[in-house]
Amino acid sequence: MIRLYFAALTLALLSSPALAEPTCKDAQMPVPMWQVAKKFEDAGGSISAMKTNDGCYEIYGHQADKRVEVFFDPNTGKELERD
């Protein structure tokens, strides 16, 4: 029974799509990270962590009682993707 469980779990993990995060181009004049953070908080979000990942700004936090991971373009400050 345990072998069947692990076989099913392995199959499920291998068949799931890979999680791809956006990649941003180097910014000549990036929008300051604090402005992106303020925009997120003004929209009702609370930030637990921020970082730069593959050139994009990334915010970890909560919004509308849900945990979110949001990627922003440092060139424009616009949201690219939300997990």
pLDDT, tens digit (0-9, with 9 covering 90-100), for 38-77? 999 999 999 999 999 889 999 999 999 999 999 999 999 9
In the numeric block, the tokens 């616009």 are attached to: 78
DSSP state of 31: P
Bigger pLDDT: 26 vs 38: 38
pLDDT (mean) for 6-30: 62
Specify burial of residue 50 (Cβ count, 10 A radius: 0-12, 13-18, 19+).
middle
Contact, 19 vs 68, CB < 8 A?
A: no
In the numeric block, the tokens 């700004």 are attached to: 57
pLDDT at res. 31: 94
- What are the extents of the domains in the chain? 29-83
* CATH 3.10.450 for the 29-83 domain, yes or no: yes
Q: What is the pTM of this model?
A: 0.72
